[in-house]
């Protein structure tokens, strides 16, 4: 989508702080981090959210991207949280599918990291 910020970051029209990339997904640091590690994993192709007809192959590529991000940031050893805000009630603000990978400290069930976005 031409006006989608995550399409532009995923395809390097706008540069970001990249953590991992392959032919299907891009991972970059969230500009408003809620934890020492806060990385977004996005498909290069545009889908509005997790239930926007995303092919199984793309879902698998996203999970592989999470695995690579966890290893690259070290949270594979300490634990991390994955969140996909989906729709208005979840507070989704960018309508390009993205998985938040949060870690680097003890995460609580309360607070903004519980929803993966700032209130
Ligand atoms: P949400 O849609 O609420 O799941 O979260 C979107 C996240 O994307 C939010 O934590 C801030 C982040 N974000 C929005 N625009 C940009 C951007 O241009 N660059 C980066 N690195 N992060 C962004």
The tens digit of pLDDT for each residue in 5-34 reads 999 999 999 999 999 999 999 999 999 999
Domain ranges of the chain: 5-103
List, for residues 46-93, the tens digit of each pLDDT value. Answer: 999 999 999 999 999 999 999 999 999 999 999 999 999 999 999 999
State whether the Cα torsion 5-32-75-84 is positive or negative.
negative
Is any atom of ligand 1 closer than 6 Å to the C-beta of 28? yes
Q: What size, in residues, is the chain?
A: 119
Helix (H) / strand (E) element for 51: namely: none
* Residues assigned a catalytic role: 98
Q: Where are the alpha helices (DSSP H) in 1-119?
A: 5-10, 56-73
Q: Is 32 in the pocket of ligand 1 (CB under 6 A)?
A: yes
- pLDDT value of residue 7: 98
Question: What fold, for 5-103?
Answer: HIT family, subunit A (3.30.428)
Reading the block at residue 67, the tokens are: 């695995």
**Residue of 31, 81, 82, 113 best suited for mutating to test ligand 1, as the one with most atoms within 8 Å of CB:** 31
- What is the model's pTM? 0.94
With a 6 Å cutoff on the Cβ, whether 43 touches ligand 1 is no
CB 52 within 8 A of CB 97: yes
């Amino acid at each position: 989508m031409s006006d989608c910020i995550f399409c532009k970051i995923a395809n390097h029209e706008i540069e970001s702080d990249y953590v991992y990339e392959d032919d299907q997904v891009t991972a970059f640091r969230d500009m408003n981090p809620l934890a020492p590690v806060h990385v977004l994993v996005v498909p290069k192709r545009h889908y509005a959210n997790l239930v926007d007809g995303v092919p199984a192959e793309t879902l698998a590529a996203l999970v592989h991207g999470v695995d690579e991000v966890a290893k690259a940031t070290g949270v594979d050893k300490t634990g991390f949280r994955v969140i996909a805000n989906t729709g208005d009630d979840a507070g989704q603000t960018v309508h390009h599918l993205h998985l938040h990978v949060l870690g680097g400290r003890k995460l609580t069930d309360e607070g903004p990291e519980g929803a993966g976005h700032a209130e």
